[in-house]
Amino acid sequence: MRRLSTLKSKINLIFFISFILLGAHFILFFHFSKHELEETRRIQEREITRYLYDYFLRYGKIDYAFLESQNVSVIKDKNEIAKIEFFFKNKKNYGADRYHLKRIMFINNDRFKIMLENKNRS
């Protein structure tokens, strides 16, 4: 206790504790904002899937203009599709995950099968 008797040591202690609390605050903030972003992305991907299915039931085709407006593109390269299908082999109807630093959505239902790349910032 003798070390805390000077004013300088008390200021240093308060500074150190404040620095630790500020660091913990930033770590928690980034953790929660990352979680919030991931949840928003999941909701957006589910809404895209639902819209595509409903649109296909109504018009019998996929709405590519909608995909462009959502900043999502269709993967058309056969080799890349084969690799991604192997990556999503455990998912039968729907999958969304990171594949080679890209956010990929795999949709396979009773009407169509499509692979999409979500180009929104992750």
Write the pLDDT tens digit of every residue in 33-77: 999 988 988 898 899 999 999 999 999 999 999 999 998 999 999
Average pLDDT, the chain: 88
- Asked if pLDDT for residue 6 goes beyond 60, the answer is yes
**What 3-state DSSP class applies to 60?**
coil
As a whole number of Å, the CA-based R_g of the chain is 24
Looking at per-residue pLDDT, the higher value among 80 and 88 belongs to 80
Residue with tokens 């819209």: 51
pTM, 2 dp: 0.69
Sign of CA dihedral 77, 81, 82, 84: positive
pLDDT at 51: 94
Taking 70 as the threshold, does the pLDDT of residue 122 lie above it? no
The answer to whether residue 3 scores a pLDDT higher than 80 is no
Which residue's structure tokens are 């913990």? 24
Q: Is the pLDDT score of 113 beyond 70? A: yes
Q: Which helix (H) or strand (E) holds 119?
A: none
Beta strands 102-108; 113-118: pairing state: antiparallel
